[in-house]
Structure 1
Amino acid sequence: MARALMMLGTHSNAGKSLLATAFCRIFARKGFRVAPFKAQNMSNNAGVTPEGGEMGRAQIVQAEAAGIYAHTDMNPVLLKPEGNRRSQVVLNGKIDGRIEAGNWLETKERLWGEVTAAYDRLSSRYDVVVLEGAGSPAEINLKAGDIVNLRMARHAGASCLLVGDIDRGGVFAALAGTMLLLEPAERLQIGGFLVNRFRGDPALLGDGLEMLRERAFGVPTLGVIPYLPDLRIADEDAVPLERGQSAPAPLAEGHLDVAVIHLPRIANFDEFDALDLEPGVRLRYVERAQDLGNPAAVILPGTKATLTDLAWLRERGLDRAILAAYGRGAQVVGICGGYQMAGEWLADPLGMEGAPGGQA
Structure 2
Amino acid sequence: MKAIMLQGTSSDVGKSVLCTALCRILYEDGWKVAPFKSQNMALNSYITRDGKEIGRAQGVQAEACRIEATADMNPILLKPKQDMIAEVIVRGEHYADMGASAYRNDYVPTAIPILRESLNKLAEDYEVLVIEGAGSPAEINLKDRDIANMKVADLVDSPVLLVADIDRGGVFASLVGTLALLDESERARVKGFIINKFRGKFSLLKPGLDWLEQHTGIPVLGTIPYADMGIDAEDSLALSSLRLKKRDESDKALRIAVIRLPRISNFTDVDPLYDEPGVTIRLIASAAEWNNPDVVVLPGTKNTTDDLRWLKQTGLAELIRQASDNGAYVVGICGGYQMLGKELHDPDGVESTYRHSQGLGLLPIHTTFHAGKRTVRVEGEVCGASFAAGQEVTGYEIHLGQTVREDGSRPLFRLTDGHTDGTIADDEAVWGTYLHGVFHNRAFTRAWLNHIRVQKGMDPVSEEVRTESERREASYTALAALVREHLDMKKLYEIMELPLPVT
TM range (shorter): over 0.9
Cα deviations across residues 12-32 of structure 1 (Å, max 9, x unaligned)? 000100000000001000000
> What does residue 168 of structure 1 align with?
168
Contact 1:20–1:130 (Cα < 8 Å) also in 2? yes
Cα deviations across residues 174-224 of structure 1 (Å, max 9, x unaligned)? 0000001111111001111101111133221132122223333x2221111
Q: Distance in 2 between the 1:182 and 1:92 partners?
A: 29
Cα deviations across residues 79-104 of structure 1 (Å, max 9, x unaligned)? 11102201001111111112212202
How much has 1:292 moved relative to structure 2?
A: 1.6
The alignment yields a C-alpha RMSD, in angstroms, of 1.7
Show the 5 A alignment for 1:1-360. Answer: 2-105=1-104, 106-216=106-216, 218-228=217-227, 230-242=228-240, 244-245=242-243, 249=247, 251-355=249-353, 357=355, 359=357
TM-score, normalised relative to structure 1: 0.95
How much has 1:343 moved relative to structure 2?
A: 1.9
Cα deviations across residues 100-126 of structure 1 (Å, max 9, x unaligned)? 122022111222221221111112210
Contact 1:351–1:358 (Cα < 8 Å) also in 2? no
Please give the secondary structure, in 2, of the residue aligned with 1:295: coil
Q: Distance in 2 between the 1:311 and 1:319 partners?
A: 9
Q: Distance in 2 between the 1:108 and 1:358 partners?
A: 35
How much has 1:52 moved relative to structure 2?
A: 0.9
| Letter in structure 1 aligned against 2:140 | I
| Letter in structure 2 aligned against 1:143 | K
Q: Distance in 2 between the 1:313 and 1:193 partners?
A: 44
Please give the secondary structure, in 2, of the residue aligned with 1:188: helix
How much has 1:334 moved relative to structure 2?
A: 1.1
How much has 1:254 moved relative to structure 2?
A: 2.2
Please give the secondary structure, in 1, of the residue aligned with 2:348: coil
How much has 1:344 moved relative to structure 2?
A: 2.1
Contact 1:24–1:34 (Cα < 8 Å) also in 2? yes
Cα deviations across residues 138-174 of structure 1 (Å, max 9, x unaligned)? 0111112111100011001111000000111000000
Q: Which sections of structure 1, spanning at least 5 residues, go unmatched?
A: none
Q: Distance in 1 between the 2:215 and 2:348 partners?
A: 55
Please give the secondary structure, in 2, of the residue aligned with 1:346: strand
Q: Distance in 2 between the 1:36 and 1:208 partners?
A: 32
Q: Distance in 2 between the 1:349 and 1:13 partners?
A: 38
How much has 1:266 moved relative to structure 2?
A: 0.8
Q: Which sections of structure 2, spanning at least 5 residues, go unmatched?
A: 359-503
> What does residue 370 of structure 2 align with?
none
Relative to structure 1, the CA distance from residue 237 to residue 352 in structure 2 (aligned partners, 3 Å threshold; closer, same or farther) is: farther
Please give the secondary structure, in 2, of the residue aligned with 1:134: coil
| Letter in structure 2 aligned against 1:195 | I
Contact 1:99–1:107 (Cα < 8 Å) also in 2? no
Name whichever of 316-325 and 170-179 sits farther off: 316-325
Cα deviations across residues 29-85 of structure 1 (Å, max 9, x unaligned)? 000000000011111101111111111111111001111111111111111110220
Q: Distance in 2 between the 1:352 and 1:114 partners?
A: 27
Please give the secondary structure, in 1, of the residue aligned with 2:125: coil
Bigger radius of gyration, 1 or 2?
A: 2
Q: Distance in 2 between the 1:57 and 1:351 partners?
A: 28
How much has 1:231 moved relative to structure 2?
A: 1.1
Contact 2:247–2:281 (Cα < 8 Å) also in 1? no
